[in-house]
Amino acid sequence: MIGTLAHVDYLACTGKSPWHRASALPKLVLALALVMIAVFAPSLRLLIAVHLLAWALALSSRMPPRLVLAAAGYPLVFTALFVIARWDATWATPLRLVLRPLTASLAAVWLVATTPYPDRAAAMVLGVATFMLWRTA
């Protein structure tokens, strides 16, 4: 798992997709919106639509699909316990229980793989302001 995360972080710094050139703040807002909609989606149809959008974002970042599956599928191990515990003999409940964390993790993987750590940790304005203050001191 550490190797997978290291590869995702490496792609954040070396990727060439349009998402890599985009500003960090809009990507943070989009990822947060995807996670919030995934968690609070009232209908299964909306959850599936958001899940497909998360897949589209992750794959459009030019990450290898196998890496996307490895990084985003990590929570599925833990989700399996909830699916077994909440089994109610319908397909909707397990699907909802699987799609929520998978959609959130896809959004997180997309964000981490397209945004270098310094940009995620602080907005660009803060980085520039810190640099300018350091240079003038």
Q: Kindly report, residue by residue over 38-94, the tens digit of the pLDDT.
A: 999 999 999 999 999 999 998 888 888 888 888 777 788 888 888 888 888 888 888
Q: Where are the domains of the chain?
A: 2-136
Q: What type of residue sits at position 118?
A: P
For 81-122, write each residue's pLDDT tens digit: 888 888 888 888 888 999 999 999 899 888 888 887 666 555
In angstroms, the CA 55 to CA 58 distance is 5
Rounded to two decimals, the pTM is: 0.76
Q: Can you tell me the distance from the alpha carbon of 118 to that of 124, in angstroms, rounded to the nearest whole number?
A: 9
Helices (H), 16-60: 18-21, 24-40, 44-60
